[in-house]
Structure 1
Amino acid sequence: MTLSGCGSVRPSPEVQLTVSGCPRVTQCRLERSAPRSNGDLNAVLDETEAAWAVCADKVDTIIACQERDSEQTAVLTQRPE
């Protein structure tokens, strides 16, 4: 009996593992508001713009991470046989 480690058997193909280290996509939410004056409305506008900026930063971070993963995957799959 010849064991595969002792013969001239072709090695098994290399397995490519794909692990995404990107953050999870989560919903962006705005708080409910019921402004009663122009001052309240201005405050709500400021809060909404700040929340929008935080959400946009989250989305940009995830997109950048996914693009890095795609670039790395492309490099790994273009290896010569």
Structure 2
Amino acid sequence: MQAIEFNATPHGGMLLIPEMYRQQWEGLSVRVILLPANEAAAPATPKPKTLLERLRTIEKIHAAPDLSENHDAYVLGQTHG
């Protein structure tokens, strides 16, 4: 099956085939599937939360009291105990 994809805006129920494809498709019977080109017009599908959205839900962090001062030492496993 040969297929092409392009974006178009219907005007009065008509869609224009881009000039580069018109001659090869002229007079052929075609199947047309309409999909909205942007997410806003598409049916709502839940988007995954961004990292910042997920971080905003954290109410309390359970960590060593000096974590902010000695973060690198904790990451490298060089905590003083």
Q: Answer yes or no: same fold by TM over 0.5.
A: no
**TM-score grouping bracket, smaller chain normalisation:** under 0.3
Higher helix share: 1
Greater relative contact order (Cα 8 A, min sep 6): structure 1 or 2?
1
